């Protein structure tokens, strides 16, 4: 499937600029850029503490978004630091890696399973299955609602799911869960790529997130046709 990588990147930069309260072109600059954290209309509704810090890079600038009460201290500690030094500061607890589709194409289908797309309120019927926490919110009122699920069944039993949550107006995040006894079958990559293709067909940007230590999930991202796009602090010790 043809992917306009530049258009996807511009869409993501526009959303991240809202989230971090910076300008979209800041991501293509060099060095540290400090922005006062603000709850802007249209931001992705991830939870925030009263004191909040994000450090993010798409490869060039390091965007530092912090609430006003901690900004002077953060600025003092980060001033003159390199990208690697900024992400290695003692108050950075862990980072998350984010991926965008760059080489999405239909993968070979594992043949021992039945597949089905589920969307809308029909997704709520899947909440009785409790083994799929990476791909469903399990909350009908969640601010980032489940919008599209691709299930895989074996002998009538759901054994894997790839799910998309509407994190923003244009960005849908993909999560994947495969029951342990059905891993190493190609299911995770197949479901992820199929779901990404469907999301792109609907005019939305599919993105994928892993922790820096989750090698298995990173492999799924690469096998599915995703490439690294940005890194952001996931938790801090502020």
Determine the pLDDT at residue 214. Answer: 94
Helix, strand, or coil (residue 174): strand
Token match 């995770």: residue? Answer: 188
Exposure class string for 192-205: b at 16+ Cβ within 10 A, else e? bbbbbbbbbeeebb
The pLDDT value recorded for residue 28 is 96
pLDDT of residue 49: 85
How much is the pLDDT for 238?
77
What pTM was computed for the model?
0.95
Cα–Cα distance, 211 to 124 (Å, whole number):
27
Greatest Cα pair distance, the chain, in angstroms, is 60
pLDDT higher at 212 or 154: 154
Name all domains of the chain by residue range, CATH numbers in brackets: 5-99 (no CATH), 114-228 (3.40.630.30)
Backbone dihedral angles phi then psi of residue 164, each to the nearest 5 degrees: -120, 130
- Write the CB contacts of 83 (distance below 8 Å, at least 6 apart in sequence): 57, 62
Closest CA to 229 of 98, 119, 110: 98
How far is it, in rounded angstroms, from Cα 192 to Cα 163? Answer: 8
Write down the mean pLDDT value for the chain: 96
Are β-strands 157-166 and 205-211 bridged in parallel, bridged antiparallel, or unpaired?
Answer: unpaired
HSE of 141, CA atoms in CB hemisphere, 13 A: 0
Q: Provide the token pair at 38.
A: 């603000």
Task: For residue range 27-39, list pLDDT tens digits in order.
Answer: 999 999 999 999 9
Please state, as a whole number, how many other Cβ atoms lie within 10 Å of the Cβ of residue 106: 11
Residues 157 and 139 sit within 8 Å (Cβ to Cβ): no
Judged against a pLDDT cut of 90, whether residue 77 lies above it is answered with yes
C-alpha 123, offset from chain centre: 20
Q: Provide the pLDDT for residue 84.
A: 95
Going from the C-alpha of 74 to that of each of 34, 36, 51, 204, 229, the distances in angstroms are: 9, 11, 12, 35, 25
Evaluate if residue 10 carries a pLDDT over 80: yes
User: Cβ neighbours of residue 139 under 8 Å, at least 6 residues apart?
Assistant: none
pLDDT of 235 above 90: no
- What 3-state class would DSSP assign to 130? coil
**Nearest alpha carbon to residue 12 among 233, 201, 232:** 232
pLDDT tens for residues 83-142?
Answer: 999 999 999 988 999 999 999 988 999 999 999 999 999 999 999 999 999 999 999 999
| Cα–Cα distance, 150 to 34 (Å, whole number) | 40
Give me 135's structure tokens: 């791909």
């Amino acid at each position: 499937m043809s992917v306009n990588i530049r258009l996807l990147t511009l869409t993501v930069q526009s959303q991240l600029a809202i989230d971090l309260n910076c300008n979209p072109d800041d991501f293509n600059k060099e060095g540290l850029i400090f922005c006062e954290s603000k709850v802007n209309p249209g931001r992705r509704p991830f939870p925030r503490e009263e004191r909040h810090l994000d450090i993010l890079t798409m490869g060039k600038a390091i965007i530092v978004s912090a609430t006003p009460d901690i900004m002077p201290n953060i600025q003092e500690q980060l001033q003159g630091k390199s990208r690697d030094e900024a992400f290695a500061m003692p108050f950075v607890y862990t980072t998350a890696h984010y991926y965008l589709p760059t080489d999405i194409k239909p993968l070979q289908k594992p043949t021992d399973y039945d597949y089905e797309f589920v969307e809308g309120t029909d997704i709520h019927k899947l909440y009785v299955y409790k083994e799929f926490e990476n791909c469903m919110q399990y909350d009908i009122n969640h601010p980032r609602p489940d919008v599209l699920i691709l299930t895989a069944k074996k002998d009538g039993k759901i054994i894997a799911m790839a799910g998309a949550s509407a994190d923003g107006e244009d960005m849908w995040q993909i999560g994947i869960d495969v029951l342990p006894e059905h891993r190493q079958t190609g299911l995770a990559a197949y479901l992820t790529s199929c779901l990404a293709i469907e999301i792109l067909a609907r005019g939305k940007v599919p993105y994928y997130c892993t922790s820096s230590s989750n090698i298995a999930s990173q492999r799924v991202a690469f096998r599915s046709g995703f490439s690294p796009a940005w890194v952001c602090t996931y938790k801090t010790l502020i």
